[in-house]
Structure 1
Amino acid sequence: MWKEFKGFIANKNVVTMATGIILGSAFTAIITSLVDNIFMPIIVAITGQADVSGLALSIGNTEIGYGAFIQAIINFILIGGFLFMTLKALEKAQNKKIISPEEEPAGPSEVELLQDILAELKNK
């Protein structure tokens, strides 16, 4: 059982996933700072109010805090938009090839590979 657990933990997929989670947590701090320190001051400059989480509706002795829900939606839209733009930029950067298709070395064709395999099988 211990060997299986060690094998599971040492699996490349588990290590990659753990690394992604750790980097995601660190990136969360960056995004939160971006929203709190850059986006929200711009919204305050435009609207005069940045935090709507204090808005509430009183019904008798009960208070419905709909402002916190609206604030969560605003944060989600800002964070989602920033992440979308960041991921699109990364995707665009990764798709750029250093070697153009014309400069790529030509490998053997499928026919040549199959002929090599057939020749190897005949030699055995």
Structure 2
Amino acid sequence: MLKEFREFAMKGNVVDLAVGVIIGAAFGAIVTSLVSDVIMPIIGAITGGLDFSNYFIPLSKSVTAGNLADAKKQGAVLAYGQFLTLTLNFFIIAFVLFLIIRGMNRLKRLQETQPAAAPKPSREVELLTEIRDLLKKA
């Protein structure tokens, strides 16, 4: 059973999937940093210093904190600013993946439209062609 599992795990598709998941996680971390460290501060500056990640609605009367982290410690909150930030993350990732797949499809179509190069004839075929041409001249 262990041998069978090892064969399954080492198949090309499983390894490709594992590489894709790892690269996807790293890409997700980059996009998260892009949104939280670059895009959201710019949006906050444009809107007068608003920080979307701290937008929340308290769901209990005991929540009196001014920021989300402290509010979560005090009770239940509806963190809609965090939701907006994560939604923006999703749209950025989806758009980048769209661009990547679009580029891959263009390359694939370009490759399909180019005629395949004729294979070079073997040495024997070249010699026979030369003999044929010489015989035609004679």
TM-score range, shorter chain: 0.5 to 0.7
Taking the aligned partners of 1:105 and 1:91, their CA distance within structure 2 comes to 24
Pairing of 1:1-40 with structure 2 (within 5 A): 1-40=1-40
2:93 is equivalent to residue 86 of structure 1: no
Q: Determine the structure 2 residue equivalent to 1:50.
A: 51
1:75–1:7 CA distance, 2 compared to 1 (3 A): same
1:57–1:78 CA distance, 2 compared to 1 (3 A): same
Taking the aligned partners of 1:88 and 1:39, their CA distance within structure 2 comes to 20
> Per-residue deviation at 1:2?
1.9
Q: Could you tell me the TM-score, scaled by structure 1's length?
A: 0.68
> Per-residue deviation at 1:44?
0.8
Q: Secondary structure at the match of 2:54?
A: coil
- The one-character-per-residue Cα deviations of 1:44-84 (angstroms, maximum 9, x if unpaired) are 11222113435343644464412x2x123212221122112
Q: Determine the structure 1 residue equivalent to 2:77.
A: 65
Whether contact under 8 Å (1:40, 1:50) holds in the other structure is: yes
1:59–1:81 CA distance, 2 compared to 1 (3 A): closer
Say which structure, 1 or 2, has more relative contact order (CA 8 Å, 6+ apart).
2
1:6–1:44 CA distance, 2 compared to 1 (3 A): same
Taking the aligned partners of 2:94 and 2:101, their CA distance within structure 1 comes to 10
Residue identity over aligned pairs, in percent, reads: 32
Whether contact under 8 Å (1:54, 1:65) holds in the other structure is: no
Q: Secondary structure at the match of 1:96?
A: helix
Q: Could you tell me the TM-score, scaled by structure 2's length?
A: 0.62
Give the unaligned 5+ runs of structure 2: 64-74, 118-138
> Per-residue deviation at 1:96?
2.1
1:43–1:3 CA distance, 2 compared to 1 (3 A): same
Give the unaligned 5+ runs of structure 1: 107-124
> Per-residue deviation at 1:89?
1.3
1:105–1:59 CA distance, 2 compared to 1 (3 A): closer
1:54–1:26 CA distance, 2 compared to 1 (3 A): same
